[in-house]
Chains A and B, each alone.
Chain A
């Protein structure tokens, strides 16, 4: 089927999934860090977190991807000779993609996590402190587990947007599903067929994610009473 391009595109789909998963892991890490910064009582830390979230969310993904990919490459090669490295360094597009998407969606997630942390009753953290836990322990033992439930809807949204944003990495040369579908379409002069195939796979990915995250939401809400208005 698909003139033998079917398997190539499926390989690309796997790469897309990997790209999305790794980026999401980086984004969750950065998002937690960003949220912790923004909620910090230290003014300069809060300001740093605030700047990160505002600036990144104010610039299109595509511009940030081009900036970090080409600009980052440029920067690395300007700095490398200074530390005595002479060869030209080519950044791997997959690594660059994970870093870039993680960095961008970390900003969006920091907003989600911040809102979720703020929705936890103050007494919870105070009780932890009263038991003599260190602030870090309160953060990871008391706040994070409760935050997860509140953050799931926001995380779901961000994950879906992230999966779709992975297609942009094809523009900086990663041979993901989008790039492969495009070149298969060009080679066979049937672009519609192959791009539509890619669209169907993206739709399948987002649909599966929706179902999985709905299950997760139900699991994390087990201890919470649903209120019918």
Chain B
């Protein structure tokens, strides 16, 4: 048979369960990553080497090594140390979901920080000068002017990062989680039908990708309306 539809239809519940796991991993890691990315980006735009350098090193190392290595280091690597195994956080670190979320969050925080730093640096001079002329303190300048403006302008690039993260979550299947890819692996090992199993997983990812792209387009229309080319 060219394509066994029945197997795919029978396994749909497994795939939908996988979609939930994928989305859960994606949302948690993106949220944690973005929270960490904001201070990192602020460090990256600093002119003081002592503040800038640690953030630069962090993003450089994380962006220069494969995600799989980072996941292995956390999930398999940390067990090497007695101190870690006896510490209070070990129950969390031996949990695959926790490790995957943490690894993905660390990874995306580095990429997001660079995106956000680029966006902060591209803030029009006038906005900063106006804020200073109004007598705003540095904290208020960041809170009211720089961050809201930079976060908006980072949206198109950040949407790429979100898509990349969606694809990165497929690595969760390596540490035993049943996300979409994990579901496909299960189906493949049950029926030995790799074509059907992985093509179905691919379709699920394609649909999720398109939905995310569409959502970001809508978001851009809403939050970047003031940068859109004039219609008339």
Asked if residues A199 and B184 are in contact (CB atoms below 8 Å), the reply is no
Known: A67-B199, A191-B77. A202 touches B194 (CB 8 A): no
Q: Within 8 Å of chain B (Cβ to Cβ): is A70? A: yes
Residue from the set A66, A198, A203 with the largest chain B CB neighbour count within 10 Å: A66
Q: Within 8 Å of chain B (Cβ to Cβ): is A190? A: yes
Q: Within 8 Å of chain A (Cβ to Cβ): is B12? A: no
Q: Within 8 Å of chain B (Cβ to Cβ): is A207? A: yes
**Which B168-195 residues have C-beta < 8 A from chain A?**
168-171, 173-174, 180-181, 184-185, 188, 193-195
Asked if residues A62 and B171 are in contact (CB atoms below 8 Å), the reply is yes
Enumerate chain B residues within 8 angstroms of A166, measured Cβ to Cβ. Answer: 66
As a 0/1 sequence over residues 182 to 207 of chain A, the CB contacts with chain B under 8 angstroms (1 = contact) are 10010001111101101100110011
Interface residues on A, range: 35 or more
Interface residues on B, range: 35 or more
Q: Within 8 Å of chain A (Cβ to Cβ): is B35? A: no
Asked if residues B64 and A202 are in contact (CB atoms below 8 Å), the reply is yes
Q: Within 8 Å of chain B (Cβ to Cβ): is A167? A: yes
For chain B, what secondary structure do more than half of its interface residues adopt (helix, strand, loop), or is it mixed? helix
Asked if residues A195 and B77 are in contact (CB atoms below 8 Å), the reply is yes
Measured CA separation A128–B147 after assembly (Å): 49
User: Distance (Å) between the CB of B48 and the closest chain A CB?
Assistant: 24
Enumerate chain A residues within 8 angstroms of B70, measured Cβ to Cβ. Answer: 199
Q: Within 8 Å of chain B (Cβ to Cβ): is A95? A: no
Measured CA separation A193–B76 after assembly (Å): 11
Known: A66-B181, A66-B185, A71-B199. A164 touches B206 (CB 8 A): no
Number of A-B contacts (CB under 8 A): 115
Among B68, B201, B209, point to the contact of A167 (Cβ < 8 A). Answer: B68
For chain A, what secondary structure do more than half of its interface residues adopt (helix, strand, loop), or is it mixed? helix
Asked if residues B181 and A189 are in contact (CB atoms below 8 Å), the reply is no
**Which A139-188 residues have C-beta < 8 A from chain B?**
160, 164-168, 170-171, 178, 182, 185
Enumerate chain A residues within 8 angstroms of B7, measured Cβ to Cβ. Answer: none
Enumerate chain A residues within 8 angstroms of B193, measured Cβ to Cβ. Answer: 74
Enumerate chain A residues within 8 angstroms of B206, measured Cβ to Cβ. Answer: 55, 58-59
Q: Can you list 20 contacts pairing A with B, beta carbon distance less than 8 Å?
A: A55-B206, A59-B206, A60-B170, A62-B174, A62-B181, A63-B205, A67-B194, A67-B199, A71-B194, A164-B66, A167-B66, A171-B174, A185-B80, A191-B72, A191-B77, A195-B73, A199-B69, A199-B73, A202-B64, A203-B65
- Which B residues have a C-beta under 8 Å from some C-beta of A? 61, 64-70, 72-73, 76-81, 166-171, 173-174, 180-181, 184-185, 188, 193-195, 198-199, 201-202, 205-206, 209-210
Contacts beyond the supplied A58-B206, A59-B206, A60-B168: 7 A-B pairs with Cβ under 8 Å: A63-B181, A67-B198, A70-B188, A70-B198, A185-B77, A185-B80, A202-B64
